[in-house]
Amino acid sequence: MGIVIKSHYEIALMRQAGRIVALTLAKLASSVRVGMKTKELDTIAGEEIRKHGAIPSFLGYRGFPANICVSVNDEIVHGIPGDRVLKEGDLVSLDVGAIYKGFQGDGATTVGIGRVSPGLLELMEATKGALDEGIKAARDGAHLGDVSFAIGQYAEKKGFSVVREYSGHGIGTNLHEDPQVPNMGVRGQGMVLRRGMTLAIEPMVNTGTWRTRVAPNMWTVLTADGGISAHFEHTIAIRENGADILTAL
Ligand code: MG
């Protein structure tokens, strides 16, 4: 599939989907606590998404068995909610997708459970900061490599490693569209971004190695060395004057 340029009308619908994602992430962040099972978060998310007239994007996507992804500590992305009980000091990455009137929104945040170590707070700040830098670089006429460079450079300068085997992506009527949006890159390389393009930008940042492995369930992606990982994501539209965040409240 090539790059799809969206009309203002299509972007408006994507903003509706994105707002439902943002509301759901806010609901999850305010609900999560010590002693909760990750499947309880999945139930809350499913109810919230449907309450707003949307459908969870991930449920059934290539056979994914839950409404959302919940990835704890050394789990990077694609964690399956279940009976795991959250403990004080855990980092929990919550990834939510919603389909509204045929359009997708995709967003993620990482939250700490109770009191989190200073090093992990730094990891979360660095990952969120890397996302912000990527969004700032995503403007009409910029190269895709400018976005990737901004993300990777920021996180590495903070002393963390950036996952290379999983990327952001174009998004629209499909959850994953062209182009891929890597979290590491070279300025001035890659395609030129144009207004009307819609992208999900999603740095995944680790305390240890950037290398990954996949769990026996064939879904959950973990750090290869057991280091801790954080993940933040927004869906954005490229506009005349920069990026417009669609997964914001
Ligand atoms: Mg995504």
Q: Which of 192, 215, 186 is nearest to 78 (CA)?
A: 215
Ligand 1 midpoint to CA 244 (Å) = 16
Ligand 1 midpoint to CA 69 (Å) = 11
Q: Is the pLDDT assigned to residue 15 strictly greater than 80?
A: yes
Residue 58: half-sphere exposure toward Cβ, Cα within 13 Å = 25
Q: Which of 137, 56, 43, 53 is nearest to 97 (CA)?
A: 56
Ligand 1 midpoint to CA 199 (Å) = 9
Ligand 1 midpoint to CA 221 (Å) = 14
Ligand 1 midpoint to CA 205 (Å) = 14
The whole-number pLDDT of residue 72 equals: 98
Count helices and strands in the chain by DSSP H and E runs: 4, 15
The whole-number pLDDT of residue 1 equals: 58
66, 97 contact by CB (below 8 A): no
- Distance CA(155)–CA(161), nearest Å, equals 7
Residue 40 burial (C-beta neighbours within 10 Å; 0-12, 13-18, 19+): middle
Ligand 1 midpoint to CA 83 (Å) = 24
Ligand 1 midpoint to CA 161 (Å) = 19
CATH number, domain 8-245, options 3.90.1170.50, 3.40.50.300, 3.10.310.10, 3.90.230.10: 3.90.230.10
List pLDDT tens digits, range 17-74: 999 999 999 999 999 999 999 999 999 999 999 999 999 999 999 999 999 999 999 9
List pLDDT tens digits, range 63-117: 999 999 999 999 999 999 999 999 999 999 999 999 999 999 999 999 999 999 9
105, 19 contact by CB (below 8 A): yes
Ligand 1 midpoint to CA 173 (Å) = 13
Ligand 1 midpoint to CA 157 (Å) = 24
Ligand 1 midpoint to CA 31 (Å) = 22
Ligand 1 midpoint to CA 21 (Å) = 12
List pLDDT tens digits, range 183-233: 999 999 999 999 999 999 999 999 999 999 999 999 999 999 999 999 999
Sequential DSSP letters for 11-46: HHHHHHHHHHHHHHHHHHHHH--TT-BHHHHHHHHH
User: Hey, which residues does 93 pair with through a beta bridge?
Assistant: 71, 110
The angle subtended at Cα 25 by Cα 110 and Cα 90, nearest 5°, is 30
The whole-number pLDDT of residue 2 equals: 74
- Work out the pLDDT band at 241, boundaries 50, 70, 90: confident
